Amino acid sequence: MTVDSAPKLVIETKDLVKMYGPHIALQGLNLKLESGATGILGPNGAGKSTFFKCILGLITTTSGEGTVLGYDIRTQGDLIRSKIGYMPEYDSLDPGLSAIDQVRYSGELIGMNPSQATQRAHEVLEYVGLKDQRYRKIETFSTGMKQATKLACALIHDPEILICDEPTNGLDQRARDFMLQTLRNTVNQGGRTVLMSGHVMDDIQEVCDNIVMIHKGKIVVHRRIDELAKQVDEEIEISVWGGSSRMQNSLESRGLSVRRLGRVMRIKVESEETIPLILECAVESGVQVRKMGEYKPDLEDIFLLIMDKLGAEVKQTSDLMTSEHTGGANV
Amino acid sequence: MSDEQINLDGGQTRMEAAYGSDDGDNDSSAIVAKKEASLGAIFEQNYRPWDGNLGPRWVRNYAIFRHHVFGLFTSKGHRHYNPFVRLTILVIFIGAISPIAMLFFSSLFGAGPDSFIDKMWGINRSNLWGQVLGYFPRNLCYWPLLTALVVGGMISDDRRNGTSAIYFSRPVTRVDYTLMKYLSVAVVLGFVIVFSYMAYYTLAIVFKGEGWGFLIDTLPMFLSGLLCSLLLVITYTSIGLALSSISQSRFFSAIAFLSIIYGTKLVALLIDLQFETSILYILSPYDCLAHLGQWLLGLELNYSHSLSLSVVSLIMMNVISIMILISRVSSLEVTRE
């Protein structure tokens, strides 16, 4: 089953400010999030958790306003939380309970009656791949199984918005892939909205179409990932053998911009002449070019670029980007 | 034989002969019964929507209450209580209702109102007071241990395991959470303390065949004792939950509760013995309750200090405990502990 529906506005904030005493956690957040999958990025202390708490209606905002699914975050927190599934980053499971009981209890806490909650707990545990382990106690679970159980707890009432706080934390490759696939299915099959925070860019890129970057309580970027990728300079990636430093010097002496990672170099494409120039440099330096190809920037590059600009070239976040970079968001 | 002649859907299949005794020009085949191969289960991830209705606030609150209270009777699907804890609570309950057995034997033997059994376990002011506030064994062993076992982990487990996020990321308010936890503990304590007291009074009347006159005579005493038992449940619940809320360890809250109950009593006793003043008993929750209970049941007061000091102290203990509880529950995090 695939749900195709036009994107609709699910979260909207206007000049949202949250202060903890003198510390400003969120500085006038203006955000319009549509349905689909959105990654929330930002370094520790950027304000991601505060943002989640605000949209869950758990803390009172200092000023500004916001709505989630049309409900006011200042006055209708209960209604919002009944429509949202939240998967916390940290352990939030009772080790003495079996998975089925934990998921069922989390359903009851949202207002499902016991029989409904039990039936639905079986369904969601099957969905997250724990069908055969559902009667096992959580204390015997691996990290991946615990993460899956937390996801099942969040999905039990079929929430319209699923908030996942670093869902791949501590997972091995197989468990990570399955978790990301599950989140993708939740968006594509279930037609749910997923808000996913994290530090691992690849994870965000695999699930999300959009990203929101928060830095020092401000939104610095809010755009589609593929559009952002276009902002990063086109590069040629080469892998060289013998005399990497000579090669780098040669390239730079011809005015090319080089990013070097050991034997791997990424050279900014200046013109159509860049590739012949690279080959000339290789001949001149006496190095073997063992691999050459177009380098497609990933979210990691985008993130590093933006953070680099935040830290080095700009003095204030408001100076960071043009409206082209931020998708029109006011920074 | 053509495929049309073979009923493939009906469990038949065609077996091609790989080797034969002929010259190989013929297509050797035979129709055989199809054997269902065991292919195993292929996991297919399908998101199933749910369009049921969510219950109102009381449904959520009752779920919290049920989770904690039903866990004492069956660990299946509810909060897990260690079997040793459940066994100890059962022993305490049996100990609390043991006077009923003595009254039953008394009724069998036809012992009169002046008999030893009736004086020891029959209904009178001292015994009604003692059923709730007697020091040994009830307030030395039963009630403090019962409270320590029940409150240990009630909130501290949520703090340690991060399960507070399960509550507060749902439409459960901190007020509801605190009230339901409080009610759960109070009901378990009440079941043992208040229920055993009520059962004792009721069955004593039944076993002794007492009439309306006895009932009317003793009812005020019974109600006073009932009030004492409720105050004891409330006070122990408040102190116990406050201790549970300030730690991440169920052991700490249990031991801290026992230390407060026994420690204050011991210190006050030593001071009383040494300096012949009972004033320090106002620090002991048990002695404040005992003092008030003596007054309510019309018994001679054992304490030399004013009753009002004990009452004020009792109120202060409850207020401070509840303030600590509220403050600590407010600090329980959803996103990070």
pLDDT digits (tens, 9 = 90+) for B41-86: 677 888 999 999 999 999 999 999 999 999 998 878 899 899 999 9
In this prediction, residue A319 has a pLDDT band, given cuts at 50, 70 and 90, of very low
In a domain, B7, yes or no: no
DSSP A67: E
Compute the distance between CA of residue A112 and CA of residue A159 in angstroms, rounded to an integer.
Answer: 13
A172 plus A264 within the same structural domain: no
Question: What was the pLDDT predicted at A294?
Answer: 86
Q: Which of A204, A229, A254 is the last residue of a domain?
A: A229
**pLDDT value at residue A186:** 94
| Two structure tokens written together for B48 | 């199933």
| C-alpha distance from B17 to closest chain A C-alpha (Å) | 41
Contact B52 A86 (CB under 8 A): no
Domain for residue A304, yes or no?
A: no
- pLDDT surpassing 60 at residue A313: no
DSSP state of A193: E
B241 within some domain: yes
Give the residue from chain A lying closest to B157, CA to CA: A94
| pLDDT value of residue B19 | 53
Q: Are residues A164 and A150 in the same domain?
A: yes
In a domain, B52, yes or no: no
Calculate mean pLDDT across residues A91-97: 92
Domain that includes residue B204, residue range: 57-330
Whether the predicted pLDDT of A297 surpasses 80: no
Which pLDDT score is estimated for A321?
Answer: 44
What is the extent of the structural domain holding A290? 233-295
Instruction: Indicate the number of domains in chain B.
Output: 1
Q: How confident is the model at residue A315 (pLDDT cuts 50, 70, 90)?
A: very low
Q: What is the dihedral of CA A255, A257, A261, A265, to 10 degrees?
A: -70
Same domain, A225 and A142: yes
- In this predicted structure, what is the pLDDT of residue A270? 84
Q: Report the DSSP pairing between strands A193-197 and A161-165.
A: parallel
Shared domain for A83 and A125, answered yes or no, is yes
Query: For residue A97, is it within any domain?
Result: yes
Strand partners, A86: A163
Per-residue pLDDT, B12: 61
Looking at A229, A255, A285, which one is the last position of a domain?
Answer: A229
Q: How many CB pairs under 8 A join A and B?
A: 125
How many CA within 13 A on the CB side of residue A49?
13
Nearest chain B residue to A86, by CA: B169
Same domain, A71 and A115: yes
**How many angstroms separate the CA of residue A158 from the nearest CA in chain B?**
6
pLDDT per residue rounded down to tens, chain B (337 residues): 555 555 655 556 666 555 555 554 555 566 666 555 555 667 788 899 999 999 999 999 999 999 999 999 887 889 989 999 999 999 999 999 999 998 888 888 876 777 788 888 889 999 999 999 999 999 999 999 999 999 999 999 999 999 999 999 999 999 999 999 999 999 999 999 999 999 999 999 998 888 999 999 999 999 999 999 999 999 999 999 999 999 999 999 999 999 999 999 999 999 999 999 999 999 999 999 999 999 999 999 999 999 999 999 999 999 999 999 999 999 887 765 4
Task: Indicate whether A114 and A243 sit together in one domain.
Answer: no
- Å from A84 to nearest chain B CA? 8
3-state helix, strand, coil in chain B (%, to 5): 65, 5, 30
Which structure tokens are listed for A92?
């939030």
Which tops the pLDDT comparison, A251 or A302?
A251
Cα A258 from chain centre:
29
ipTM rounded to 2 decimals: 0.84
> Is residue A41 in some structural domain?
yes
Q: Which residues of B touch A82 (CB under 8 A)?
A: 54, 170-171
Between B87 and A200, where is the model more confident?
B87
Residue A317 is assigned to a structural domain of this protein: no
What CATH number is attached to the domain comprising A130?
3.40.50.300
Using the structure block, give the residue that is written with the tokens 């004033």.
B279
Q: Residue B60 in contact with residue B171, Cβ under 8 Å? A: yes
For B80, the token pair is 């897990």
Q: Is residue B36 a part of any domain in this protein?
A: no
Q: What is the pLDDT of residue A198?
A: 79
Nearest CA to B170 among A152, A269, A104, A106?
A106
The reply to whether B152 falls in a domain is yes
| Confidence band for A39, pLDDT divided at 50, 70 and 90 | very high
Q: Which amino acid is at B18?
A: A
Chain mean position to CA B236: 13
Closest Cα in chain A to B68: A105
User: pTM value?
Assistant: 0.83
Q: What domain count does chain A have?
A: 2
**Amino acid identity, position B271:** I
pLDDT digits (tens, 9 = 90+) for A153-175: 999 999 999 999 889 988 999 99
**Contacts A105 to B, Cβ<8 Å:** 63, 67, 77, 166
pLDDT at position A327 is 46
Q: What is the average pLDDT across A74-78?
A: 93
Q: What are the residues whose beta carbons fall under 8 Å from the beta carbon of B321, sequence distance 6 or more?
A: B238, B239, B241, B242
Nearest of A229, A235, A250, A251 to residue A293 by alpha carbon:
A235
Across A6-19, b (16+ Cβ under 10 Å) vs e yields eeeebbbbeebbbe
Q: How far apart are the first and last CA of chain A?
A: 39
Q: What's the confidence (pLDDT) of residue A317?
A: 40
For a pLDDT cut of 90, what percent of chain A falls above it? 53
Bridge partners (DSSP) of residue A213 are A41, A221
Q: What is the pLDDT of residues A125-161, one digit of tens each?
A: 999 999 999 999 999 999 999 999 999 999 999 999 9
Q: Quote the pLDDT of residue B40.
A: 62
Quick one: pLDDT band at residue A324, thresholds 50, 70, 90? very low
- End of a domain among A214, A229, A244? A229
Whether A204 and A291 map to the same domain: the answer is: no
Candidate from A94, A111, A123 with C-beta closest to B161: A94
- Determine the average pLDDT of the residues in A50-66: 90
* Structure token digits, residue B147: 């409270």
